[in-house]
Amino acid sequence: MTAEIIDGRKHAQTLLDSVAADIAAMPQAPGLAVVLVGGDPASAIYVRNKVRTAQTVGLRGETEILPDSVSEAELLAIIATLNARDDIDGILVQLPLPPHINTLRIMAAVDPAKDVDGLHALNAGRLLHGADALIPCTPLGCMKLITSLVPDLTGYHAVVIGASNIVGKPMAALLLDERATVTQTHIHTRDTQFICRGADILVSAVGKPGLVRGDWIKPRAIVIDVGTTRVEKAGGGHDVRGDVAFDEAVKVAGAITPVPGGVGPMTIACLMENTVKAAKARRARR
């Protein structure tokens, strides 16, 4: 038996269509500002895709591209300007930032009402409390894929591999909020493989291609692969690889996301949804 392949592009398009309809009904299109620091080619592609998708759904998307050498003070000043602009509803600072910039300080500087990445401590705290929050786009997209297959997670054992602020931690909080029993593993976990074998839902967000082997997976489990590692191709160019050994996993799992075409498109679609949510909330408070 082979697993159902979860078509992230199709789910994302459905969400984008609904976001576009929402935007069309708004008196003024929401504005999204994406800040890119440095010349990392992968980040540049992600940012271009985000701004392009913003424009296709009718958002006003703009990019602020800054050199690697930008100081933390200069970046903070740019964020302060975007915070103060009434025509900007969402601000996203693409990660990773260069080592001379303190990422936590940057995340804390974004107005929580415009924090469409859900990385400000206020949004992270509200998520943990089960209060309404702007939620990081990748785990939000993963949840939408999971609940499209299993609307009620009560009684399910979910395992999240990875404990980053941007994916692993919010992912665990979201699954817990949906009444799953959640185990989180990370780099210091002793026997991740054993823990994964008990997972009805397995989310891997590590960035190690092929980490999760077929024999790590419980038969019929839902497997969500957040990994997007760029690897050089023999003839030049790059491929993107997930954390899961797909060819092995597809023979065991009940459903699985491919890489590419799984979680990635959902991340971008959820960013658009978050931007509209932020715009509506700000306008309601005016």
Tell me the catalytic residues: 50, 94, 117
Among 51, 88, 93, 222, binds ligand GUN (CB under 6 A): 93
DSSP string, 215-230: GGS-TT-EEEE---EE
Rounded Cα–Cα distance for residues 54 and 61 (Å): 6
Among 94, 183, 204, 229, binds ligand GUN (CB under 6 A): 94
Cα 179 to Cα 136, 155, 161: the distances in Å are 19, 7, 18
- Closest approach, Cβ 159 to ligand GUN, in A, equals 21
Cβ proximity to ligand GUN, 40 vs 74, nearer residue: 40
Among 267, 269, 274, 279, binds ligand GUN (CB under 6 A): 267
Q: Does 115 bind ligand GUN (CB under 6 A)?
A: no
> What does residue 284 show for φ and ψ, rounded to 5 degrees?
-65, -25
Q: Does 229 bind ligand GUN (CB under 6 A)?
A: no
- Closest approach, Cβ 94 to ligand GUN, in A, equals 5
Strand partners for 115: 91
Contact between 32 and 250 under an 8 Å Cβ cutoff? The reply is no
End-to-end CA distance of the chain: 55
Cβ proximity to ligand GUN, 6 vs 137, nearer residue: 137
Q: For residue 193, how many other CB atoms are within 10 A of its CB? A: 15
Among 22, 117, 178, 200, binds ligand GUN (CB under 6 A): 117
Cβ proximity to ligand GUN, 32 vs 252, nearer residue: 32
Contact between 270 and 170 under an 8 Å Cβ cutoff? The reply is no
Rounded Cα–Cα distance for residues 214 and 220 (Å): 12
Contact between 23 and 29 under an 8 Å Cβ cutoff? The reply is yes
For ligand GUN (CB under 6 A), the number of binding residues is 9
Taking contact as CB under 6 A, which single stretch among the options 5-13, 89-97, 181-189, 246-254 is the one that binds ligand GUN?
89-97
Q: Binders of ligand GUN among 145-204, rule CB under 6 A?
A: 166
Taking contact as CB under 6 A, which single stretch among the options 92-100, 140-148, 188-196, 250-258 is the one that binds ligand GUN?
92-100
Q: Does 95 bind ligand GUN (CB under 6 A)?
A: yes
Taking contact as CB under 6 A, which single stretch among the options 16-24, 51-59, 68-76, 86-94 is the one that binds ligand GUN?
86-94
Rounded Cα–Cα distance for residues 25 and 188 (Å): 49
Among residues 121, 146, 92, 125, the alpha carbon closest in space to that of 266 is found at 146
Rounded Cα–Cα distance for residues 133 and 220 (Å): 32
When CB distances to ligand GUN are compared, the closest residue is 95
Write out the residues near ligand GUN by the rule CB under 6 A: 92-95, 117, 137-138, 166, 267
